[in-house]
Amino acid sequence: SRQWQLVRRPVGEPTDDDVALVPVDVPDPGPGEVLVRNAVMSVEPYMRGRMSEARSYVEPYALGEPMSGHAVGEVIASADPVLPEGSWVRHELGWREVALVKAAEAEPVDVRGFDPALHLGVLGQTGLTAYAGLLRIASLKPGETVFVSAAAGAVGATAVQIAKAKGCTVIGSAGSAEKVAFLTRELGADAAFDYHDGAVRDLLAAALERAGAAGIDVYFDNVGGEQLECAIRCMREEGRIALCGAISTYNATEPVPGPRNLLLMIWRRLRMEGFLVTRHLDLRPDFERDMAGWLCSGAIRSVETTVRGGITQAWPAFLDMLGGGNVGKTVVSLTDR
Ligand code: NDP
């Protein structure tokens, strides 16, 4: 069995020299443990943060140890009565073909009703992030205008669709003409723009006009930086900004400047709140019920970029995702099923 280890901390953009794919022996599960053959694993932007030494809300990856992250797989050996062989589980020990998981830290998932990849994406923490950010943090109401950045990505594509399902006007930004077309033609966004196409303040203002919107009520921020400042400029009174991510800054080697127009937050009585999905797990029953309903009715579809070729492709898939090569949730298939 093989696993990806971090061997050097990246400075700026990560490179192939920062990691190694290492063969390891497959252990036997001890009491309360199960051995899981991972079928799919997730590569996510927050992993870039864990490659740095700086402490954040989550432990940095240790050098010379396997990296971790969400995965879904089948129990192939079990020393726990609750999870017999043949069970399917979601857990946190991705980046490896076979994982020795404590049964208490593995969560059974339904792979008959839903493809394993959905438990990483739209039905997993990705979907919950969009749901918690829009509905709890930003208190989204039907009829409001929502702006979503990185809108063609995993969290973004889900946020766009939830906002549409709630009867909102939705503007999205993304990094290519294909993604812009995907947002308006496939996901129902009312207007979208490629943030490379000029000054974001002009692109955003034009997109709002195309959508017939007077301004933004809710900004779901995945990228920070220039797009955040421009969104503040276009917020309506009593608008809400859910700070979900700041991917435009993750490879920065110097402190990044903040928005220069925070005074508008006072004048327009805006609210801006950062959140971590892991602090909103109490929403899961509501989220899973609503999302299963939206998936079954066709109001929301799962959008995925599936990377095939097994464990060797996990690192290239991570780099490609950071660079915007994905549409929707990036899922690495480890079994090529
Ligand atoms: P995505 O699937 O959205 O992949 C990342 C995307 O970011 C890329 O596809 C790329 O799309 C875009 N991107 C990369 N660089 C830049 C840049 N400089 N400026 C603008 N966009 C850029 O990943 P996720 O959906 O998993 O994550 C989206 C955001 O949500 C991240 O910021 C992540 O950290 C955050 N997050 C936060 C959570 C929380 O609990 N707060 C939980 C999960 C995710 P493009 O082609 O459009 O540039």
Q: What is the pLDDT of residues 187-224, one digit of tens each?
A: 999 999 999 999 999 999 999 999 999 999 999 999 99
* pLDDT of the residue at 6: 98
Q: What is the pLDDT of residues 6-55, one digit of tens each?
A: 999 999 999 999 999 999 999 999 999 999 999 999 999 999 999 999 88
Annotate 219-250 with b (16+ C-beta within 10 A) or e (fewer). bbbbbbbebbbbbbbbbeeebbbbbbbbbbeb
Tell me the CA–centroid distance for residue 27 and ligand 1, in Å: 35
Where does residue 46 rank: exposed (0-12), middle (13-18), buried (19+ CB within 10 A)?
middle
Work out whether strand 191-194 and strand 107-108 pair parallel, antiparallel, or are unpaired. Answer: unpaired
Atom of ligand 1 at shortest range from CA of 133:
41
Mutate to test the pocket of ligand 1, among 147, 247, 281, 304 (most ligand atoms within 8 A of CB): 247
What tokens were used for 19?
């990691």
| ipTM confidence | 0.99
* pLDDT of the residue at 55: 82
* pLDDT of the residue at 337: 47
CATH homologous superfamily, domain 125-279? NAD(P)-binding Rossmann-like Domain (3.40.50.720)
* pLDDT of the residue at 56: 86
* pLDDT of the residue at 54: 86
Q: Whose CA is nearest to atom 48 of ligand 1?
A: 175
Average pLDDT of the chain to the nearest whole number = 97
In order, the DSSP letters of 27-43 are PPP-TTEEEEEEEEEE-
Mutate to test the pocket of ligand 1, among 179, 196, 223 (most ligand atoms within 8 A of CB): 223
Q: Is 159 in the pocket of ligand 1 (CB under 6 A)?
A: no
* pLDDT of the residue at 336: 75
**Where does CATH 3.40.50.720 sit in the chain?**
125-279
CATH homologous superfamily, domain 2-118+303-333? Medium-chain alcohol dehydrogenases, catalytic domain (3.90.180.10)
Mutate to test the pocket of ligand 1, among 43, 48, 222 (most ligand atoms within 8 A of CB): 222
* pLDDT of the residue at 321: 98
The amino acid at residue 87 is: S
**Where does CATH 3.90.180.10 sit in the chain?**
2-118+303-333
* pLDDT of the residue at 275: 98
Residues 244 and 219: their CA atoms lie apart, in Å, by: 10
* pLDDT of the residue at 161: 98
Average pLDDT over residues 312-336: 97
Q: What is the pLDDT of residues 96-126, one digit of tens each?
A: 999 999 999 999 999 998 999 999 999 999 9
